[in-house]
Amino acid sequence: MKSYVENSHDRCKLFGIEKTQVVSKRILSPEDLHKRLMSQENFIQIAEPFMNHLYNFVKGSNFFAILTDKDGCILSLIGDEEILETAFSFEMVPGAFMDEKSIGTNAMGTALYEDKPVQISAGEHYIKAYHRWTCSGAPIHDVDGSIIGCLDLTGFSEGVHSHTLGMVVAASHAIEKMLEGHAYNNQLNASKIYTETIINSIPSAILTVDLEGRIISFNPYVMKALGFNQEELKSINFNDIMPNYKDIIINISHKKSIVDEEMHMRSKLNKVLYNVSIYPILDADEQIDQMIFVIKDIKKMRKLANRIMGRRAIYTFDKIIGVNESFLNVVAFAKKVADSKSTVLIMGESGTGKEIFAQAIQNYSIRSNEAFVAINCGAIPKNLIESELFGYEEGAFTGAKRSGQPGKFEIADGGTIFLDEIGEMPIDMQTRLLRVIEESTVSRIGSTNEIPVDVRIIAATNKDLIEEVKKGNFRKDLFYRLNVLPIKLPSLRERREDVPDLVEYFMSRISKKLNKNPVELPDDYMNYLMHYNWPGNIRELENLVELIINTESIPAYDEMPEIKLNHKTKLEPVDLFSLDSIEKKHITQILKHFSGNITLAAKVLNIGRNTLYRKIEKHCIDIEQCSNMEHN
């Protein structure tokens, strides 16, 4: 009788899965992913604490946990940086489908098909790219017994233990219990002890309030969220915490819940914005008797969103390649100022890697685990940039969302915001940005409330901002606010000695990404690349390497950077007749002709003996070999 792995491999053949496949056949667009995440929001919120708890058991051991829906679509993943970077290179990201039809045999797709926990290790995966991993997956069922999703824990094969699958199964069962608890919330209220156990296990502030504002019950997270102790919560009226409580009673009178609304509430110290969900509790006569409030820290909610949407810095300084002394000094300075709260202004031509530097600074700082939000000031229409940066309240303008929307500064709170092409920012927005820098607060469009934000600002530009100031296109005071820690990235033509290392790095990374073999470039061709001016800088060099790997041929250049794709030279020794190669060849021929006689060779070349010796050393010419040659 065949095992489930053999059966799965048979299905993969029928599905037409290639063993050389690397990326899932089905990956959602950002718009479709957003819709799916919204439709699965309740499931994600319930599963997230258990998923994090599972990951914390193996944190630091090169594991990552994945949550999918019933179709195998990745909804969320969290894990160690090294293995996540590998997963991201395979485009294993939210929106990618892990079912067998899309990516072959793996724990998630096979567990969903078999409807049972499975562990797929090394070569049991159908595609070769996953052979380095062991995946342990278990299906998650709703209260009706139907599959609603899958939980998976993946790590490098050598780090997986026999109990890994048991941990995943336990976590999936816990999620199923939570789903059951959510579905039968009213029934669970009959058992106070059981209800309190469930409520206390959820890392959100949960309390029940009657229609008069009396707080009936609460879990320990309420005290932490609002700042009141247990005795104070028993005596305080909820009207004092939520000033619009009476309006809420009216709004919920139709027995409809309010889910994930941003609301201001008074904590013990000040007025704070929370994410609030409200559920009515009905009595035996189907009348609202009490309400359940679920209060979540808005910052934690945004951190979850940042993880799902990939708002994290990926690049680190060890991924920045170079030996040029001036460039290394720039790297050293960037590391030195990484932990500073001061603003950073990164200047450099297009393609020099300004965002990579910004991400590396973030990952080298104490904010490395916080959000990294990048926004291109030149790519957003002028009439939308204000709402993108600062957000808006409900009804602020036609088409505004009912619940309003936070801006990028709020989303980046605690982390870093990267303002690329800052020189393209409209002058009126520059005034608002200056105020944010000076006061560390933002105000949404249509609101008078000032929201405190702790955001590290890194700006970047390929323009000469001093010239823009002179032209009146950029505020002088904003320039000096941004230019506190200036970083000037050199162009590639200013660090030509870095070209070979960059080519080697891109050749290795891109060939792995494309699942193709690296291409070895002839020395003369590399020398040609080192002497090219690279108007597109590192980005242009990376594109060239990707072209060479894809076509497995070296493009013939009439004039860089125009690549004549219809005139390719197959990979074989190529002489592009650089000056150095011509000189070496000519000197070698003369030395051979005179059997290595330096005096005669120097006389014919019309140069001094010492000059000839220097050129011989420069070109690594073998004198003995020339001496042994019989001249014609």
Q: What pLDDT digit, counting tens, does each position of 233-276 carry?
A: 888 888 888 877 777 877 777 767 777 777 777 777 666 677 78
For domain 187-301, give the CATH superfamily: PAS domain (3.30.450.20)
Contact 468, 475 (CB under 8 A): no
- Give the highest mean pLDDT range of 32-36, 183-187, 291-295, 569-573: 32-36
User: Is the pLDDT at 105 greater than 60, yes or no?
Assistant: yes
Please tell me what DSSP assigns to residue 320.
-
User: Is the pLDDT at 195 greater than 80, yes or no?
Assistant: no
Domains 311-490 and 493-570 share a fold: no
User: Is the pLDDT at 573 greater than 60, yes or no?
Assistant: no
Which residue ranges make up each domain of the chain? Answer: 4-183, 187-301, 311-490, 493-570, 579-627
User: Is the pLDDT at 148 greater than 90, yes or no?
Assistant: yes
Q: What is the pLDDT of residue 417?
A: 93
CA dist 259 and 243 (Å) reads 19
Q: For residue 406, which of 301, 561, 287 has the smallest C-alpha distance?
A: 301
CA dist 253 and 15 (Å) reads 52
The average pLDDT across 148-171 equals 87
Q: What is the pLDDT of residue 505?
A: 92
Instruction: Give the whole-number percent of the chain exceeding pLDDT 70.
Output: 87
Cis peptide before 561 (omega within 30 of 0): yes
CA dist 511 and 494 (Å) reads 27
The average pLDDT across 402-431 equals 87
CATH 3.30.450.40 fits 4-183, yes or no: yes
Token digits of residue 98: 């892990």
User: Is the pLDDT at 570 greater than 70, yes or no?
Assistant: no
Q: For residue 19, which of 156, 128, 113 has the smallest C-alpha distance?
A: 128
CA dist 136 and 115 (Å) reads 13
Indicate the CATH number for domain 493-570.
1.10.8.60
CA distances from 517 to 22, 513, 520 (A): 14, 10, 10
CATH 3.40.50.720 fits 311-490, yes or no: no
The average pLDDT across 160-164 equals 75
Token digits of residue 602: 């120097």
Q: What is the pLDDT of residue 581?
A: 72
CA dist 290 and 295 (Å) reads 16
Token digits of residue 42: 């309740």
Q: What is the pLDDT of residue 194?
A: 63
Question: pLDDT class for 96, splitting at 50, 70, 90?
Answer: very high
Q: For residue 84, which of 106, 62, 60, 59 has the smallest C-alpha distance?
A: 62
User: Is the pLDDT at 177 greater than 50, yes or no?
Assistant: yes
Element (H, E) at 569: strand 562-570
**What global pTM score does this model have?**
0.49
- 140 vs 400, which has greater pLDDT? 140
CA dist 564 and 550 (Å) reads 15
